[in-house]
């Protein structure tokens, strides 16, 4: 074919296609080299995981390749700035690509060196070495052939830039696009959408994220998939530890004693507790269904005396259960609640949720102690939200995730299928199980836009007056009915479950991911005033263990934390395991003499607090002291620190120690 004849393919299209294909191909070669260089020869990465990591890596590279082309895609179609004619514009484009290649090749070279030295992928944490620049530079110079590597880097940049120049000259041999305005407009629209899809990375509401690389518990599979340049920029907000190791060592003795560490060692900072089965542990292997209830504030429920009859079914179920009525989540927010409930470590990161922090992805999740159990996670929407997928798949062995796209039920709103249908979809899976299972269900319907499905015709809306709603914890009628609908969904779930064989041998665990602060309305007369004045309404939630054939009903008023839930569940079973988190078994009497809950509000200046039955000590992370507040007072916002200095000093030290160790544990409690 004569290359001077008009072609249907525009020059910029032709250039982009070849550039992206070569870009991805080089990325695959680099990943294969990485896998060869650092893979365990005795236990190599299985072929299917290698293939999946290469495919996932190609998607990361597609994003990066398109981002590197973005200036040309925006400007390369104009005569003045086209790269397909000799002149200044082409030379400037070559300078751009030389800079791109310099950065990307450098990132891959540093990644190889970083992994060989530390066994982890390049991230923004490498910038921490700059705080000891002399030592770091000396280590690099003495360890690596810096001169030869610099020469390789420069030659590689020159070679790739020369290749791009050749591609530009080759493409310029072809005639440009010749079509009418409407065809050109359509082409531009399709091109923009295709490029945005490539950058987005997946056919989903949520974009491709670093957490998608942790699709397996095999850390090396993630290392192969991740692109070092993207990973570096993705982790830029996590560049420096926020704790002092000296402060951690100073806090260690008190926290080690509080946790019951078997062999305390302030030098190694050992937090391991080797847990043995109790004498009254379950015989056999009952199932566990652990349910996160969205925004399930205690003061809004009938369980705590709310007169609007919000949760009649849940209230009756709780009275037939083991019920802890003083449980507090460490924080307000679903992502933080999921992280803390599973990891056993409060999410104290002040910059963003720890589920988004690659350095905190490795956690000690006690669900793994349930050996021989099938493990499932159900969510009406997607686990890509807030990078929760990375925490789940990295840390729970053999986990199967059920999410949007895998259900037969219709989508209800932005949060996926309705909570009723989520429960029923889970029930269908449970009844087919042949062996023991541990499943987590994350609800989301009790959340704006408060959508109640039209299909649920037996759920009757109520319409109390605005004055009644405000007096009893609700801002509006749609919020009130949504909360009632949660109770309806739980009832439908239990009705369906009772008909199945698994029901009698299952422990159902219900608790809130967090509460909701009473703003512009009152918490009602049936809970302490501290819930209103000290914001505890946003972190207080019921915790119920329901198993009518396995557990005798009991009510406990001991102060409890969301991070205690998994240790308490595990304590019921005939299990031996290691607990490395901050949670403790609420049914272990050894700890009853010292029970408290920790709270943190990262978005409110880093406010932290610690509370027991009587007192709540609150301070800002950046301050040296705070205030002591009476939990049972009718004026709880009055600071009592000057009246009770010994209590204030004791709780302040407890709070400082606990926060410091929690901050350290975010990135040091991992491992199974």
Burial letters 357-385, b for 16+ CB under 10 A, else e: bbbbbbbbbbbbbbeebbbbbbbbbbbbb
Three-state secondary structure of 370-417 = CCCCEEEEEECCCCCHHHHHHHHHHHCCCEEEECCCCCCCCCCECCEC
Contact 535, 315 (CB under 8 A): no
pLDDT higher at 512 or 521 = 512
**Each residue's pLDDT tens digit, 12-41:** 888 999 999 999 999 999 999 999 998 877
Give the residue carrying structure tokens 């079914």.
Answer: 313
> Quick one: what percent of the chain has pLDDT higher than 70?
94
Rounded distance between C-alpha atoms, residue 599 and residue 347, angstroms: 10
pLDDT band for position 178 (50/70/90)?
low
Pairing between β-strand 506-512 and β-strand 540-546 as defined by DSSP bridges: antiparallel
Check pLDDT > 50 for residue 1. Answer: no
pLDDT at 660: 97
Check pLDDT > 90 for residue 604. Answer: no
Rounded distance between C-alpha atoms, residue 546 and residue 552, angstroms: 9
Check pLDDT > 60 for residue 444. Answer: yes
pLDDT at 4: 47
* Degrees, nearest 5: CA angle 607-613-615: 45
pLDDT at 292: 98
For residue 422, with 0-12 CB atoms within 10 Å meaning exposed, 13-18 middle and 19 or more buried, which class applies?
A: buried
Contact 569, 507 (CB under 8 A): yes
**Each residue's pLDDT tens digit, 446-495:** 988 999 999 999 999 999 999 999 999 998 999 999 999 999 999 999 99
Q: What is the mean pLDDT of residues 138-144?
A: 77
Instruction: Round to the nearest angstrom and report the end-to-end CA distance of the chain.
Output: 62
pLDDT at 7: 43
**Any idea which of 5-9, 489-493, 525-529, 616-620 has the lowest mean pLDDT?**
5-9
**Each residue's pLDDT tens digit, 363-401:** 999 999 999 999 999 999 998 877 888 899 999 999 999
Check pLDDT > 80 for residue 662. Answer: yes
pLDDT higher at 437 or 391 = 437
For the chain, the average pLDDT equals: 91
pLDDT band for position 6 (50/70/90)?
very low
Collapsing DSSP states into helix, strand and coil, what is residue 558? coil
């Amino acid at each position: 074919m004569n290359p001077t004849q008009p072609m249907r393919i525009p020059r910029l299209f032709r250039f982009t296609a070849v550039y992206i294909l070569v870009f991805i191909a080089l990325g695959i070669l680099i990943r294969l080299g990485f896998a060869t260089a650092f893979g365990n020869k005795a236990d190599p990465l299985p072929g299917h995981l290698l293939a999946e990591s290469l495919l996932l890596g190609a998607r990361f590279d597609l994003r990066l390749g398109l981002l590197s082309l973005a200036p040309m895609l925006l400007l390369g179609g104009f005569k003045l700035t086209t790269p397909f004619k000799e002149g200044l514009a082409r030379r400037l484009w070559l300078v751009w690509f030389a800079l791109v290649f310099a950065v990307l090749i450098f990132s891959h070279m540093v990644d190889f060196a970083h992994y060989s030295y530390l066994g982890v992928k390049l991230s923004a944490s490498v910038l921490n070495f700059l705080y000891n620049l002399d030592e770091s530079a000396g280590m690099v110079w003495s360890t690596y052939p810096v001169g030869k590597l610099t020469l390789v880097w420069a030659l590689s940049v020159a070679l790739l830039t020369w290749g791009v120049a050749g591609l530009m000259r080759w493409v310029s041999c072809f005639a440009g696009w010749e079509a009418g305005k409407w065809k050109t407009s359509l082409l531009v629209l399709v091109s923009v959408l295709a490029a945005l899809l490539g950058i987005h990375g997946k056919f989903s509401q949520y974009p491709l994220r670093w957490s998608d690389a942790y699709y397996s518990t095999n850390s090396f599979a993630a290392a192969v998939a991740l692109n070092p340049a993207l990973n570096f920029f993705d982790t830029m907000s996590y560049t420096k530890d926020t704790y002092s190791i000296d402060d951690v060592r100073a806090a260690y003795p008190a926290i080690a004693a509080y946790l019951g560490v078997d062999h305390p060692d302030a030098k190694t900072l050992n937090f391991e507790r080797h847990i043995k089965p109790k004498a009254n542990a379950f015989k056999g292997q009952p199932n566990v269904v652990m349910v996160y209830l969205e925004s399930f504030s205690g003061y809004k429920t009938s369980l705590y005396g709310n007169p609007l009859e919000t949760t009649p079914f849940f209230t009756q179920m709780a009275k037939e259960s083991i019920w802890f009525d003083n449980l507090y989540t460490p924080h307000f927010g679903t992502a933080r609640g999921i992280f803390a409930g599973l990891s056993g470590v409060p999410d104290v990161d002040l910059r963003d949720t720890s589920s988004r922090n690659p350095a905190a992805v490795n956690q000690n999740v006690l669900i793994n102690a349930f050996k021989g159990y099938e493990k499932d996670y159900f969510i009406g929407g997607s686990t890509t939200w807030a990078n929760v997928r990375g925490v789940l798949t990295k840390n729970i062995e053999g986990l199967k995730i059920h999410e949007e796209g895998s259900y037969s039920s219709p989508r209800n709103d932005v949060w996926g299928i309705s909570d009723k249908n989520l429960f029923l979809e889970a029930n269908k899976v449970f009844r087919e199980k042949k062996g023991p299972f541990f499943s987590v269900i994350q609800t989301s319907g009790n959340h704006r836009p408060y959508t109640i499905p039209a299909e649920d015709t037996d759920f009757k809306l109520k319409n109390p007056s605005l004055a009644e709603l405000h007096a009893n914890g609700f801002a509006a009628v749609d919020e009130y009915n949504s909360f009632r609908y949660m109770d309806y969904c739980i009832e439908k779930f239990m009705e369906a479950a009772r008909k199945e064989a698994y029901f009698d041998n299952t422990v159902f665990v219900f608790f809130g991911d967090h509460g909701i602060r009473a703003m512009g309305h009152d918490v009602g007369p049936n809970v302490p005033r501290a819930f209103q004045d000290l914001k505890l309404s946003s972190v207080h939630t019921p915790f119920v263990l329901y198993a009518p054939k396995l557990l005798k009903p009991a009510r406990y008023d001991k102060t409890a934390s969301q991070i205690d839930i998994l240790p308490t569940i595990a304590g019921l079973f005939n299990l031996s395991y290691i607990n490395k988190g901050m949670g403790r078994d609420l049914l272990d009497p050894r700890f009853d003499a010292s029970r408290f809950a920790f709270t943190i509000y990262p978005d409110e200046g880093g406010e932290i607090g610690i509370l027991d039955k009587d007192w709540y000590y609150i301070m800002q992370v950046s301050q040296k002291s705070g205030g002591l507040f009476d939990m049972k007072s009718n004026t709880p916002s009055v600071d009592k620190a000057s009246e009770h200095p010994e209590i204030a000093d004791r709780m302040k030290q407890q709070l400082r120690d606990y926060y410091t160790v929690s901050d350290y544990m975010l990135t040091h409690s991992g491992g199974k």
